[in-house]
Amino acid sequence: MSKIQSVRGMNDVVPATAPKWQFVEDTARALLESYGYGEIRPPVVEKTQLFARSIGDVTDIVEKEMYTFDDRNGESLTLRPECTASVVRAALQHTLLRNQTPRFWYTGPMFRYEKPQKGRYRQFHQIGAEAFGMPGPHIDAEIILLLARLWRALGLKNIELELNCLGTSAARAQYRARLVDYMQAHREQLDEDSLRRLASNPLRILDSKNPQLQPLIENTPRLLDHIDGECAEHFAGLTAILDQAGLAYRVNHRLVRGLDYYSRTVFEWTTDQLGAQGTVCGGGRYDGLVSQLGGPDTPGIGFSMGVERIIELREAQNQAVEEPRPDAYLVGIGDAADWALYPLAERIRDTVPGISLVVDAQGGSVKTKFKRADRSGASVALIAGERELADGTVAIKPLGEGKQQSINIEALKTTLERIKSQGSGHLDNTS
């Protein structure tokens, strides 16, 4: 029978690669919590309506990328393609926005039916955050500075910040009309995708990756020249804080982002080390989204990063993560040792809290047992034979080089701590 494989574009994380994920997740979690963001975990499935109403009907995501299905009751459900809409929904459902300015972060899988390739998957993972109720540019700056700090904490270099300001929806509507006039005048240069967008979502033409369209796009009228005074002031406030903090950025007039709900500030962090999938993080302000989803008029801003792309970039920059190694590998010798091995292991765990101890759960010769101990990567083997069990001792042997010796289980804690801090060499000197 043929073996069943995972769904195309949906990948397993196996124990050998899990530490890379854990490092990124742990680093991001610690940093976000330290800035006052609390974790929120919405379900992976939502009513389809939620995404249609927030992301926008004529966006790529809603038009062609969602995993939508009817459940057994005939209700249309969707595997979340992103998490902002879910966070807003949850915040409203639990009245977390009333007279408060909460900050949330999340992580988890997202689903989009895209063409799988390096850096682009059908199940991928995001870490993101959202902050509500703060209309000024300070929170925009805080989020951007937090991200710059996160890249440093992850050991990442060569990530550039691009910024733009989308203005209000009224200003965007005005600009849209000008853009359509301009694109109509150059209609013969547009590709099929852009012609479709010209009718449905003309701003997205600016986002086109088609190299042939680039000269045309370069010369389009600029959105930033059409925004109102208040938005311009907001943007100037943001760039002033970034300037003061010494953070470099580039104003990219073509940055429009793929989701409809953005207003004012939008940003992306990009790298040239990941080929075509070079955007590692995107975000922006969405002052209209909460009310669009039926809540009180509440400003919001957030970002989301692609965990796979972050890990791939860390690889490209040779940022290794140490694989976790157990402290000790427990081997039983002789018949009596076998039955007593698990109670002994529990006693060791009681005596040395936090010890990472792997028990050799298979039979075989002493030689094969030690081979397995070596392969485990543990710093020491703990050996229990009949004599040790009777004495309440255990033999300890540094893996690699070093002599075996017996110690009391009570003394194990200090011995292991010494080995951890000084290496196994000193073991020869202990009695």
Tokens of 152: 């440093």
Name the residue nearer to ligand ATP (CB basis): 124 or 175.
124
Number of residues that bind ligand ATP (CB under 6 A): 19
Q: In the bound complex, which residue of the shown chain has the CB atom lying closest to ligand ATP?
A: 306
Residues 267-286 that bind ligand ATP (CB under 6 A): 277, 279-282
Name the residue nearer to ligand ATP (CB basis): 17 or 277.
277
**Could you give the C-alpha distances from 204 to 22, 112, 173, 177, 288, in angstroms and in order?**
35, 18, 13, 13, 19
* Enclosing H/E stretch for 181: helix 169-185
Among 84, 208, 304, 424, indicate the residue that binds ligand ATP (CB under 6 A). 304
Q: Which stretch binds ligand ATP (CB under 6 A): 97-105, 304-312, 342-350, 395-403?
A: 304-312
**In the complex, least distance from residue 105 CB atom to ligand ATP, rounded to whole angstroms:** 14
* Enclosing H/E stretch for 382: strand 380-384
Name the residue nearer to ligand ATP (CB basis): 132 or 269.
269
Which long-range contacts does 423-431 make (Cβ < 8 Å, 24+ apart)? Answer: 424/379, 424/380, 424/398, 424/400, 427/396, 427/398, 427/402, 427/403, 428/402, 428/403, 430/405
Q: At what angle do helices 229-245 and 137-153 cross, to 10 degrees?
A: 30
Name the residue nearer to ligand ATP (CB basis): 206 or 330.
206
Name the residue nearer to ligand ATP (CB basis): 121 or 175.
121
Among 54, 59, 126, 298, indicate the residue that binds ligand ATP (CB under 6 A). 126
Residues 212-231 that bind ligand ATP (CB under 6 A): none
Strand partners, 395: 383, 406
Task: Sketch the per residue contact string, 66 through 105, with ligand ATP: x for CB under 6 A, - otherwise.
Answer: ----------------x-----------------------
Name the residue nearer to ligand ATP (CB basis): 120 or 253.
120
Name the residue nearer to ligand ATP (CB basis): 137 or 283.
283
Place of tokens 């004495």: 391
Q: Is 121 in the site for ligand ATP (CB under 6 A)?
A: yes
Name the residue nearer to ligand ATP (CB basis): 10 or 96.
10
**Regarding beta strands 328-332 and 380-384, do their DSSP bridges make them parallel or antiparallel, or are they unpaired?**
parallel
Within 186-305, residue ranges assigned H as helices are: 192-200, 214-218, 229-245, 289-292
Strand partners, 90: none
CA–CA–CA angle 358, 364, 369 (5° rounding)? 40
With left for phi above 0 and alpha for psi between -120 and 50, is residue 423 left, alpha or beta?
left
**In the complex, least distance from residue 207 CB atom to ligand ATP, rounded to whole angstroms:** 7
Among 308, 312, 360, 388, indicate the residue that binds ligand ATP (CB under 6 A). 308
Q: Is 130 in the site for ligand ATP (CB under 6 A)?
A: no
**For residue 301, how far is the Cα from the chain centroid?**
18
**In the complex, least distance from residue 51 CB atom to ligand ATP, rounded to whole angstroms:** 12
**In the complex, least distance from residue 140 CB atom to ligand ATP, rounded to whole angstroms:** 16
Among 89, 112, 197, 397, indicate the residue that binds ligand ATP (CB under 6 A). 112
**In the complex, least distance from residue 127 CB atom to ligand ATP, rounded to whole angstroms:** 9
**In the complex, least distance from residue 82 CB atom to ligand ATP, rounded to whole angstroms:** 5
Distance CA 93, CA 283 (A): 23
**302-339 CB burial, b ≥16 within 10 A, e <16:** bbbbbbbbbbbbbeeeeeebeeeebbbbbbbbeebbee
Contact of 201 with 62, CB cutoff 8 Å:
no
Contact of 223 with 247, CB cutoff 8 Å:
no
Name the residue nearer to ligand ATP (CB basis): 162 or 308.
308
**Could you give the C-alpha distances from 186 to 151, 172, 213, 222, 324, in angstroms and in order?**
41, 21, 11, 16, 58
Q: Is 114 in the site for ligand ATP (CB under 6 A)?
A: yes
Of 109, 138, 113, 146, nearest to 125 by C-alpha is 109
Task: Sketch the per residue contact string, 411 through 430, with ligand ATP: x for CB under 6 A, - otherwise.
Answer: --------------------
Among 309, 314, 369, 397, indicate the residue that binds ligand ATP (CB under 6 A). 309
First to last CA, the chain: 59
Among 106, 124, 235, 262, indicate the residue that binds ligand ATP (CB under 6 A). 124
**In the complex, least distance from residue 168 CB atom to ligand ATP, rounded to whole angstroms:** 21
Instruction: Report the interface residues with ligand ATP, using CB under 6 A.
Output: 82, 112, 114, 119-121, 124, 126, 258, 277, 279-282, 304-306, 308-309
